Amino acid sequence: MSSSLFSPIQLGPYALSHRVVMAPLTRMRAQRPGNVPHHLNAEYYAQRASNGGLLIAEASQVSPFGQGVPASPGIHSPEQISGWKLVTDAVHKKGGRIFLQLWHVGRVSHSSLQPNGTLPVAPSAIPAEGNAWTANFDFVSYETPRELRTDEIADIIESFARGARNALAAGFDGVELHGANGYLLEQFLQSRSNQRTDAYGGSIENRSRLLLEVTQAATNVFGAHRVGVRLSPYGRAYGSGEADPLPLYRHVIRELGKQGLAYLHLIEPRSSGAGRADVDHQDVPASAAGLFRPEWPGVLIAAGNFTADTAMDAVESGVADAIAFGRSFIANPDLPERIRSGIALNPYDRATFYGGEAKGYTDYPSFNQQAA
């Protein structure tokens, strides 16, 4: 394998030894009640840690109101901070770096997951498309969410700031803000889900306001050089999708570029961005990273159905600086070494992606275990 993926890169204050990143992956294996990370999660992340490598831990709700699926971990309680400390300690012992993805799902939730059974919140009272998970792992239609009042938005921003402070206390090396995949920050960005008439709706500048203010709140905690942002300009998860993404995302990326962030993380159009099924998008650009690369002055991570060869090509061409792998990392705890050595990959089992215990989580073998 070409050295392109295995040349060092500086990401904020961290010198990474290679460019194979683990993408944030919802696995729904936190302990309940409390949605607390535990020893099984620490084992999972430690298996995938490598010396000088970067893991982006799964999306974690910044408040009880931000939860969208059962058994997803949070970062809003003392117990969750302690649970995540097990994870960060385990990764650091392997010489790895780990960022936490901060998450508020907005309308992509169900009242059974909300405190006191209240309706999920959103920029506008427009339901998501598809089926919601309930607290009992059932599927039902999404409910019509409650539109956030303008005076409530400061609380949303503070919940992300508090999540960042808690992530710092839990030992994370940085945080990634989830502005993709149809969740709350993207709901505010896109006119299809945001029909507000206040300072957070209408123009591109207004619709971008919440993401930029949340980003500033996180950088106030970690410093800009330890904060990343994930976007999916051409994603279609849960009824998301801007009619013409270019003007919106050019503005967003240019404004984020002024903040000196650790990285920008873009999901490619060929990926669904939601993970529940493979989606073949038509009439979209070949590469979001290639399209927006000229707008971004810093490290750019690309994600979305990459193979070892296409990842190498993306880095060698300069389209991206690092590549995030998802499903391949689920099934191959030693993915960087397999790519480096040209070793065949374990196949993944989609049926075990969400929920459960060790099966399909910590029982995928490394190549050394297979060869023993």
pTM to 2 decimals?
Answer: 0.96
Could you tell me the residue range of the domain that residue 300 belongs to?
Answer: 3-371
Q: Is 183 a catalytic residue?
A: yes
What would the mean pLDDT of 49-75 be, rounded to a whole number?
Answer: 98
pLDDT at 283 over 90: no
User: Which band of pLDDT confidence, cut at 50, 70 and 90, is reported for residue 270?
Assistant: confident
pLDDT at 250 over 50: yes
H or E segment at 133? strand 131-133
pLDDT at 275 over 90: no
Question: Residue 48 in 3-state DSSP?
Answer: helix
198-237 tens-digit pLDDT: 999 999 999 999 999 999 999 999 999 999 999 999 999 9
Number of structural domains, the chain? 1
Phi-psi region of 355 (alpha: psi -120 to 50; beta: other; left: phi over 0): left
Q: Give the active site residue among 44, 183, 200, 234.
A: 183
Q: What is the mean pLDDT of the chain?
A: 95
313-346 tens-digit pLDDT: 999 999 999 999 999 999 999 999 999 999 999 9
pLDDT for the residue numbered 1: 47
CA dihedral sign, ordered 163, 57, 277, 356: negative
Task: State the CATH number of the domain containing residue 47.
Answer: 3.20.20.70
CB-based contacts of 209: which residues, under 8 Å, 6+ apart? Answer: 188, 199, 200
pLDDT for the residue numbered 271: 67
- Paired sense of beta strands 322-325 and 300-303, if any: parallel
pLDDT for the residue numbered 105: 98
